[in-house]
Structure 1
Amino acid sequence: MIRFVLFSIFLCLNTLLVTAQTVQQRLDSLFQSLNQDGEFSGAFLVADGGKVVFEKYIGFENPAKTKKINSNSRFELASVSKQFTAMAVMQLEEQGKLSYEDDITKYFPHIKFKNVRIKNLLRHTSGIPEFLAWDQQWIDKKKINTNQDFLKIIETKIDSTSFKPGDQYTYSNTNYLLLALIVEKVSGQSFASYMQQHIFKPAGMKNTSVFSARSSNADLKNYAKGMAYDAKTKSFKSVDDFPAFSYLTYFDGGSGPYGISSTAQDLFKWNQAIQNNTLLTRQNFMKAISVDTLNNGKSIKMAGLYYGFGWLFTDSTNSESKMHFHSGGYPGYKTINIRDFKEQKYFIALMNKWNTVDVYPLTSAVNAILQKRKAPVIEREKLTGAIILVEFQIKQLLGTYEYTKQPELKFKITADDNGSLFAQLSGQSAIEVYPKNELELFYTAVQAELKFSKENDQITALTLYQNGQELKFNKVK
């Protein structure tokens, strides 16, 4: 869920030109090649014509490597959860119990701002600030907060939206928290109960639930724990062992934008349920993958892709055959679900390790194999060890840095009592960074580096290197 520079992808699962056996062999070779060091971890499923043609389970559910990932292994879906939340809203709309044009003050009369409609929440055009980037003093860090806790903060702390609803597209997980709460208000059920009764059970998804992994009564059997690479110990650890990810605990009661756990096989059943109109009529589902516009008439897009109701797509037509998908990223997890109505082609990837492979190049390679083309080479992320800086070297890096072209965009470099360094970009959570040398830090959460400039023995600036871009920030204090 932490948002860094995104890039566009193009995916088209149109024709299968090879036999099932050839597909299986090539796909198996692809995934085996990614696991040469034994650290690749996840569940993967490819379907064609509505039938599974390839499944692969690699790695382990836990850092100790005592439980192998299998067909029953459940993963946090991260933002892939949004398509389920949107489905619940669409079901209630189909039943006439709500309208996409409803002002959300109809459901939350204590919210101070107006003119945000349900359709704005679905397409991220509301202007409601991202709750993962709220002032940390607003949040009770001593407990696992729920959607109701977040709603109270919205009602008491947020006076207005950051722009007029419908003027811009700005991805905000807060939108889907509110949608989950609307489902509860309209249905009279808890979000978890509604999803179980009206979506998971009808779709035959026996291993899927709205799930808080850190709650005291959480059943962690068959649960694939999220892991990340620790550059200090040069090993993968549970994300809960990283101070930078402490927010995972006090945000763990949230649901709607994330908070659903599932298996690869259950996601296959989900895709079939959509295909067979089990949960919603085809006509109404098509609204989820239809193009809509901002107030200025421009199409609503995310990184060059059209954004619907919890789905992304590249085709602006109303064709049923167009591919649609959503990916997810949450500390320790990378996920994607891609589907095509006409060919009934699906690709599902659920990974419980950061710092291995991104879902987009993996998707491109799978697509190439399905089309009997040469698959692009996928480079595993480099796992680099960190050095130890002494106290004066750490202190010289600390401070606030402003982006030269946009002064309101700031980087803050801080350190804890153990000398661990953290970088925080405006509107995002602090993430631990590791020293390559006294003037270079690297991330393990994303592929990015920070390089510091020094003049007359004083640090004057830092430059962020990510996805081929360089952004310079001048030190201001």
Structure 2
Amino acid sequence: MKRVTILIIIHSFFANFAFCQSTSSSEKDKINTVLTEFMQCIETKDSVKMYNLFHKGPVTWVGVYAEVTQIQRQKKDSSALNYKISDYKTWFRNITSKVEPRREDFTNIQIIEDGNIASVTFDYSFWVNEKKGNWGKEFWHLIKESGEWKIASVIFSMELEMYKPEFEITNNANVEASNLVRKMANELLNVAKLPGLSIAIRKKNEIIFAEGFGYSDTKRKIPITSNTQFRAASTSKAIAVTGLAVMMQEGVIDIDAEVQKYVPSYPFKEYPITLKQLAGNISGMPHYLGSDKLENRFYVSTKDALTVFSHHKLLFKPQTKYSYSSAGFVLLSAAMEGASGINFLDYLQDKVFNPMGMKSTEPDMGKYRVMPNLTNYYEKKSDNYVVIKNPRDVSSIWAAGGFVTTPTDLVNMTKAYANGYLTNNTVKKMFQSQTLLSGEKTNVGIGWRIGADMEERNVIEHAGVTEGTRSIISYFPDDDIAISVITNTDWVSSIEETAHMLALPFLKKIKNSSKLSGNYRIKAKIMQKGKETEIKGKLDFEKGIGKITLANDIVYALIHVSENIYSLISNQGIYYLNIEIKGNNIIGGRATMYKTPMLEKPINIKPFFTFTSE
């Protein structure tokens, strides 16, 4: 139902270039504004503005203690009721009387309205002094009063974080691994000076780590949480091909067919193009070109979006080269639409988002309507990050880079490749490298890039970058572990290496036996702009953390991971650093940089940074 509503919005007012053409959109935007102002009032403690959000008559205010919390309450008082009745003024006076900063985060918001009455449901978490106090589900009823939406009832469940954490860590090994991930993430945030980032890690059917770092709004100091939405950028391609996998499995689409079978209106090119070639970036389709016919407007359909690039010639004969192409994925989405007879966005909602529990993934409409959970987008100017006030419209590239999402949603999506939703045969097709006519493998399957980490684990992944974001989803199929990392700026970075290092504490048994301790004079070799430079410096390390300081103001942070493995943290990411110690001397340190798609394993790539003690 959610996607149908979005389509109604798209076709009713964007076709006419005005939101006022859609009553439904306008009313939902107004209700979203009420939600946003409610959250803001808690932070600013503005009672006048808060009270103005409520209906003038009686307002229902009931909180229900959830199961685990109620059991703990009854241990102290067996007669304790599982609910409490209050009113919004009493509740808010309690907030304004306290010195500690408070905030409430709303996620997974769903609105139903008829222009007169409305029902709103969402997940919430309430924070005091940056610590989560309680969380649960909340239901509001609103009425239209003198043309404005007013809250008429609030009913919510409460689970106290101290009794039942929203994201439970299930064993001591996970506690240790989580602490290590936090150390690396916080150090990365500090060294790279990022506005914010979010990380989620899934193992089997559990989310074992999901946390935000830094701010979604640096000016107002609104922290990033696990529910903050980010631009997905090109990880949207992984989302799109997951929908394609379902179509393949259900016999809806033939990926070896030519494009015109499903998009007959698309102009024929010098050579025929298949859907499989589009999904593997070997079709000869161009990426973004200066000669694109991109207009400053909303594109109302996938066919409308084809007009941006349909006039271009192929860059080469299909299947003779690998060349990344977002245009190819837009064309692929049009073919998916033609094959299924269902709108591309609707299909993903029904076949991917709903089954995989991806409640925070949707088209990026932040340019046009209020999206309460969406982070600000930042760009770097000089040494400062500033908000992008007029972000690019991405309606022409939904499948290539047009979604917003959370790391939790992306790792949940990878469950489809392990839990039987996609058959083993389908998964094998998706993760099998495509081959050029020359016989050379590209190490790109159906959309997914095929690689490995520094310890030679198989990794299936896709990364992305666009204004206001850097993103990745990495899946370790042999361990059934997935990690996603997303930032709210287009950070020039080694995102693959960073994701692999952040996942490492959950991929191996942590051994805290570091032989490195003290201060060392080192001589190093570092690759800079394709040239190897010899340089001297020092390494200081104590109690699991340290830093390397080199000439030319080069500084790396160090964190011990396990045995002789350390994370080397720079402004471009986190790298796998192996340090060998003999006695009191460092006989070898090496860190490697790599990206996907990989033509060789990272372990065989020449390190970009090596050093020994003097």
Correspondences of 1:309-348 after superposition (within 5 Å): 309-314=446-451, 322-348=458-484
Equivalent in the alignment of 1:207: 360
* CA distance in structure 2 between the partners assigned to 1:109 and 1:53 by the alignment: 46
Separation (CA, whole Å) in 2 of partners of 1:314 and 1:381: 20
| 1:197 to 1:142, Cα distance in 2 relative to 1, 3 A | closer
Unaligned runs of 5+ in 2: 1-171, 511-561, 574-606, 609-614
How many Å separate the matches in 2 of 1:162 and 1:88? 27
1:288 maps to 2:288: no
Against the structure 1 CA distance between its residues 358 and 145, is the aligned structure 2 distance closer, same or farther, given a 3 Å change threshold?
farther
Distance change in 2, residues 1:343/1:187 (3 Å): same
1:184–1:172 CA distance, 2 compared to 1 (3 A): same
* Residues 352-402 of structure 1, C-alpha deviations (whole Å, 9 max, x = no match): 1234754234224325544433322211259xxxxxxxxxxxxxxxxxxxx
The AA in structure 2 aligned to 1:105 is Q
CA–CA distance in 2 between the matches of 1:24 and 1:363?
14
Alignment correspondent of 2:402: 259
**CA 1:57/1:357 → structure 2, altered by over 3 Å: closer, same or farther?**
farther
- Max radius of gyration: which structure? 2
Report what 2:276 is aligned to.
Answer: 119
Change (3 A) 1:358 1:65: farther
Distance 1:358 1:225 in 2: 22
The equivalent position to 2:498 in structure 1, one of 355, 362, 375, is 362
Q: Which residue in the other structure is 1:238 paired with?
A: 387
Is the alpha carbon distance of 1:368 and 1:178 closer, same or farther for their aligned partners in structure 2, counting shifts above 3 Å?
A: same
Alignment of 1:151-166 (within 5 A): 151-155=306-310, 157-158=311-312, 160-166=313-319
CA distance, structure 1, for counterparts of residue 342 and residue 234 of structure 2 = 22
The structural deviation recorded for 1:270 is 1.2
1:274-285 matched pairs, under 5 angstroms: 274-278=417-421, 280-285=422-427
What do residues 397-454 of structure 1 show as CA deviations (whole Å, max 9, x unaligned)?
A: xxxxxxxxxxxxxxxxxxxxxxxxxxxxxxxxxxxxxxxxxxxxxxxxxxxxxxxxxx
2:179 equivalent in structure 1: 25
2:377 corresponds to which of 207, 226, 244: 226
Q: Partner residue of 2:254?
A: 99
Please report the TM-score for the alignment, with normalisation by the length of structure 2: 0.52
The amino acid across from 1:117 in the alignment is: T
Q: Are the structure 2 counterparts of residues 379 and 195 from structure 1 closer, same or farther at C-alpha, using a change threshold of 3 Å?
A: same
Whether contact under 8 Å (1:195, 1:210) holds in the other structure is no
5+ unaligned residues in a row in structure 1: which ranges?
Answer: 1-17, 301-305, 316-320, 383-466, 469-477
Supply the RMSD in Å over aligned alpha carbons: 2.7
Q: Secondary structure at the match of 2:190?
A: coil
Per the TM alignment, residue 199 of structure 1 is displaced from its structure 2 partner at its CA by 0.9
Cα distance, 1:53–1:166 mapped onto 2, change above 3 Å: same
Partner Cα distance (2:249, 2:378) in 1:
40
Matched, 1:375 2:526: no
Give secondary structure in 2 for the equivalent of 1:310: coil
CA distance in 1, matches of 2:358, 2:501: 28
1:191-206 → structure 2 map (5 Å cutoff): 191-206=344-359
Cα deviation, 1:22-60, whole Å, max 9, x if unaligned, reads 212222211222233774411102233443333321122
Give every structure 1 segment of 4 or more consecutive aligned residues whose post-TM-superposition deviation is greater than 6 Å: none
For the residues of structure 2 that align with 1:358 and 1:219, how far apart are their CA atoms? 32
Name the SS of the counterpart of 1:43 in structure 2: strand
Count residues in correspondence: 343
1:272-323 deviation digits (Å, cap 9, x = unpaired): 2332122x212112111102211111112xxxxx1111211137xxxxx832
Task: Select which of 383, 407, 412 maps to 1:269.
Answer: 412
**Following TM superposition, by how much is the alpha carbon of 1:252 offset from its aligned partner in structure 2, in angstroms?**
3.9
Is the Cα contact below 8 Å between 2:229 and 2:360 reproduced in 1? Answer: yes
Structure 1 residues 21, 84: CA separation in 2 closer, same or farther (over 3 Å shift)? Answer: same
Residue identity matched to 1:224 = T
Question: 1: distance between equivalents of 2:361 and 2:240?
Answer: 13
1:399 corresponds in structure 2 to: none
> What is the alpha-carbon distance in structure 1 between the residues aligned to residue 324 and residue 272 of structure 2?
18
Contact preservation (8 Å) 1:34, 1:40 = no
Residues 72 and 364 of structure 1, relative CA distance in 2, 3 Å threshold: closer
Instruction: Name the amino acid aligned to 1:107.
Output: Y
Cα offsets for 1:137-178 (capped at 9, x unmatched): x232355575333313444x23x3121111111111111101
- The one-character-per-residue Cα deviations of 1:186-208 (angstroms, maximum 9, x if unpaired) are 22222111111111001111111
Asked if 2 retains the 8 angstrom alpha-carbon contact of 1:79 and 1:328, the reply is yes
| 2:326–2:397 Cα contact (<8 Å) kept | no
CA contact 2:329–2:400 (8 Å) conserved in 1: yes
Q: Return the alpha-carbon distance in structure 1 between the equivalents of residues 279 and 234 of structure 2.
A: 13
Q: Call closer, same or farther: CA 1:292–1:139 in 2, change over 3 Å.
A: closer
Higher relative CO (Cα under 8 Å, sequence separation at least 6) belongs to 1
**Identity within the alignment, %:** 19
In 2, are the aligned partners of 1:63 and 1:227 still within 8 Å (CA)? Answer: no
Q: Which amino acid aligns with 1:349?
A: V
**Contact kept? 1:212, 1:253, Cα under 8 Å:** no
Select the residue among 80, 85, 88 that pairs with 2:243.
Answer: 88
Check conservation: 1:63, 1:237, Cα contact below 8 A: no
- 2 CA distance for matches of 1:63 and 1:112? 49
Aligned to 1:135: 291
Among residues 39, 47, 52, which one is paired with 2:207 in the alignment? Answer: 52
Give distance in 1, aligned partners of 2:201 and 2:251: 36
Q: Tell me what 1:73 maps to.
A: 228
C-alpha spacing 1:377/1:182, structure 2 compared with 1 (3 Å): same
Task: Give the TM-score normalised by the residue count of structure 1.
Answer: 0.66
Return the structure number with greater strand share. 2
Letter in 1 for 2:417: I
CA distance in structure 1 between the aligned counterparts of 2:353 and 2:294, rounded to whole angstroms: 31
